[in-house]
Amino acid sequence: MKSPTVLVLGAGASQPYGFPLGHELKSQMIMQKDNLTTRRHLLSFGFNDKLIDDFNNALTFGAHPTIDIFLEKKTNFRDLGSYLIASTLMPLERHTSLFPQRDWYGDLFEALDFESEEPDASLPSVVTLNYERSLEHFLNLNIKYNCQDERVEFAHEKRRKLRIVHAHGSLGKYPEVDYGVSVNVDTLRNAAAGIKIVSDRLDDSPDFQEAQELISKATHIVFLGFGYDERTLSALLAKTELDTKHFYGTACGIKSDTIKRLQEMFGNQMIIGSGETCHDFLGKIDLIGKGH
């Protein structure tokens, strides 16, 4: 594997495993207004009926394309929004959505070759903007399912050295917080507390600082399923000298004006996809194949 490499994951990277894109998350959160259990949880946290209804109306009838943009502009809904994000995503952490294997997680697992004696320095790093923990859970279970019995513990030791940083927080530290944990008052409170949005003071977040550091030290930076929000991209690259890096990025569903902005920003230092899936794009750029 070419090194040092960092994979930067947006919502599209985990969409094949049952998680929503930005606009889909907004729609699914709107549907929560009809979930009586969710409303009961929110009331127990001190959010009143009027605030919940006002949130639903503003999200439903407003023109904000994503929940991040909505919460950035409607700051009085910030805390309520984190609970609703958590209550929407937590039930989507399903084992059955990860297996049987498909798309790019399995490709990454093979490339990581956890059973080999290859130095840990060859491992890439992962910066994810997603709150869910599907990649961690997949890699953990895949060792159990696929590695030779006598190499399982060795493989887990190597896996634990793989740095996966949730730049915007997560539903809980894995594996201390179980994948697919049931939604109740306690688990929802803890998950909501770990969620950050773009308008929060991310520079004060240790996770975001670590993400910036990993990207700044990498030679190859690969954006997978990333939406290229200008503010998010600028913040992630704030400590990075662009002219010393090689950039790669999927562009499935990305508008032409965004692609033009990326071309102006990175020039010929970036290889931009032409609509491929994450699986196909990784095969195209051949960055994580064995022997590199």
The CATH number of the domain where 239 resides is what?
A: 3.40.50.1220
Structurally, the chain folds into a number of domains equal to 2
Give tens-digit pLDDT for 62-74.
Answer: 999 889 889 989 9
Chosen domain end from 40, 60, 92: 92
Same domain? For 55 and 116 the reply is no
Same domain? For 9 and 112 the reply is yes
Residue 111 maps to a domain:
yes
Residue 26 maps to a domain:
yes
Residue 178 maps to a domain:
no
> Where do the H-state alpha helices sit in 5-48?
11-14, 22-31, 36-44
Give tens-digit pLDDT for 55-114.
Answer: 999 999 999 988 988 998 999 999 999 999 999 999 999 999 999 988 999 999 999 999
Chosen domain end from 50, 73, 92: 92
Same domain? For 62 and 157 the reply is no
pLDDT of residue 117: 85
Same domain? For 38 and 57 the reply is yes
Give tens-digit pLDDT for 130-157.
Answer: 999 999 999 999 999 999 999 999 999 9
Residue 275 maps to a domain:
yes
Same domain? For 125 and 163 the reply is yes
Same domain? For 55 and 145 the reply is no
Same domain? For 116 and 33 the reply is no
Residue 183 maps to a domain:
no
Q: Is residue 46 predicted with pLDDT exceeding 70?
A: yes
Q: What are phi and psi of 113, to 5 degrees?
A: 50, 60
Residue 134 maps to a domain:
yes
Same domain? For 66 and 33 the reply is yes
Instruction: Give the pair of three-digit tokens for residue 96.
Output: 């059955």
Q: How many CA atoms lie within 13 A of 57 on its CB side?
A: 6
- Whole-prediction pTM value? 0.94
Place of tokens 């994450």: 278
Closest CA to 223 of 173, 177, 281: 281
DSSP-based three-state secondary structure for 248: strand
pLDDT of residue 291: 39
Same domain? For 109 and 38 the reply is no
Residue 59 maps to a domain:
yes
Residue 61 maps to a domain:
yes
Give tens-digit pLDDT for 193-206.
Answer: 999 987 788 878 99
Q: Is residue 290 predicted with pLDDT exceeding 50?
A: no
Q: Which residues contact 252 (CB under 8 A, 6 or more apart)?
A: 12, 225, 273, 275, 276, 277
Domain containing 64: what range?
Answer: 22-92
Distances (CA, A) of 84 to 55, 106, 175, 195, 228: 10, 31, 23, 11, 24
pLDDT of residue 24: 94
Chosen domain end from 67, 92, 117: 92
Q: Are strands 5-9 and 220-224 parallel, antiparallel or unpaired?
A: parallel
Same domain? For 27 and 128 the reply is no
Q: Which residues contact 25 (CB under 8 A, 6 or more apart)?
A: 11, 66, 67, 85, 88, 89
Same domain? For 50 and 12 the reply is no
Q: Are strands 246-249 and 270-272 parallel, antiparallel or unpaired?
A: parallel
